[in-house]
Amino acid sequence: MGYYFKKVFLIAAKDLRIEFRSKEKIYSMMLFSLLVMVIFNFAFEPGAEYIKDVAPGILWVAFIFAASLGLSRSFVLEKEEDCMQGLMLSPLDRSGIYLGKVIGNFIFAMVIELISLPFFAVFFNLSLTSALPPLMIVIVLATFGFITVGTLFSALSVGIRGGDMILPLLLFPMQVPVIISAVKSTGLIMAGSGIDTYSQWLKLLIAFDIIFFVASFVIFEYLIEE
């Protein structure tokens, strides 16, 4: 088992090294996330009464679209020079390739989200200090759910023409439970409500994460075979 996870982390570390070196993905994701916040900042008056109602939506539009930008590039890296075949030839179970990719994509998305969050608080004049611990739980759960399915669909769409266009078309309908749960629970947390008011949304996120992670983990091997 240790052998398996060593290889999984090797793949994740390789992806992170390549992406942090080229910085193409991190810049485009970061820019997109900040741009969304800046544009909404012009549209809505910071500090206005209604801002707490619209802020959760703005936050998740920025996070989800930035993450999907990163996902679309995830397997492009493996397509160049047919590196995917190099990974498939290694003595690692193919589920390990999926897991390595999920870890890499998850870390990437989390980095972008953690950098964006303070900007979000400043742009919309929100104090997130007390809301931060529960908000982080929601961010981690929703990002993981988005990445597990997104990584699978990214592998699916990279081999086909117009894959960049097909990825969001496949991904977003599947992500409706994650997006609704994330937006609703973020709104309740920002409004200062107790955990009992948004616990059902957290349960939905946890259930989605477990079900779709296991399903994607099992399906991946069949998906990448020619």
What are the angstrom distances between the C-alpha of 42 and each of 38, 112, 123, 190? 6, 22, 9, 21
CB contact set of 221 (below 8 Å; sequence gap of 6+): 93, 94, 95
Question: Are 164 and 157 in contact, with CB atoms under 8 Å apart?
Answer: yes
Nearest residue to 114 via CA among 68, 169, 59: 59
- Kindly tell me which of 6 and 203 has the beta carbon lying closer to other proteins: 6
SS3 content of the chain, % helix, strand, coil (to 5): 85, 0, 15
- Kindly tell me which of 158 and 178 has the beta carbon lying closer to other proteins: 158
- Kindly tell me which of 94 and 184 has the beta carbon lying closer to other proteins: 94
CB of 199 to other proteins, least distance (A): 42
CB of 26 to other proteins, least distance (A): 13
CB of 9 to other proteins, least distance (A): 10
Residue type, 218: V
For the four alpha carbons of 174, 5, 92 and 69, in that order, the dihedral sign comes to positive
Question: Are 109 and 143 in contact, with CB atoms under 8 Å apart?
Answer: yes
Tokens at residue 76, please? 């492009």
- Kindly tell me which of 22 and 200 has the beta carbon lying closer to other proteins: 22
Rule CB under 8 A: which residues touch other proteins? 3, 6-7, 10, 14, 17-18, 21-22, 77, 80-83, 85-93, 225-226
CB of 115 to other proteins, least distance (A): 22
- Kindly tell me which of 86 and 194 has the beta carbon lying closer to other proteins: 86
CB of 220 to other proteins, least distance (A): 15
